[in-house]
Amino acid sequence: MPFVKVKDGTEIYYRDWGAGQPIVFSHGWPLCGDAFEDQMFFLGSRGYRVIAHDRRGHGRSTQPWQGNDMDTYADDLAELTAKLDLKDAIHVGHSTGGGEVARYIARHGTRRVARAVLIGAVPPLMLKTANNPGGLPLKVFDDIRAGIVADRSKFWLDLSIPFYGYNKPGVVASDGVRQSFWLQGMMCGFPASYFCVKAFSETDQTDDLKNIDVPTLILHGDADQIVPFADAGALSAKLVKKAELKVIPGAPHGMCTTHKDVINEALLAFIRN
Tell me the catalytic residues. 95, 224, 253
d(C-alpha 155, C-alpha 217), whole Å: 32
Spatial neighbors of 101 by CB under 8 A, at least 6 apart, are: 26, 77, 91, 92, 93, 116, 118, 121
Residue 132 C-alpha from the chain's centroid: 21
Answer whether 23's CB lies under 8 Å from 53's CB. no
Q: Which residue type is seen at 32?
A: C
Q: How many C-beta neighbours within 10 Å does residue 230 have?
A: 11
| Inter-helix orientation angle 37-44/260-272, to 10° | 50
| Inter-helix orientation angle 70-83/96-108, to 10° | 70
The SS3 of residue 69 is coil
Radius of gyration of the chain (CA): 17
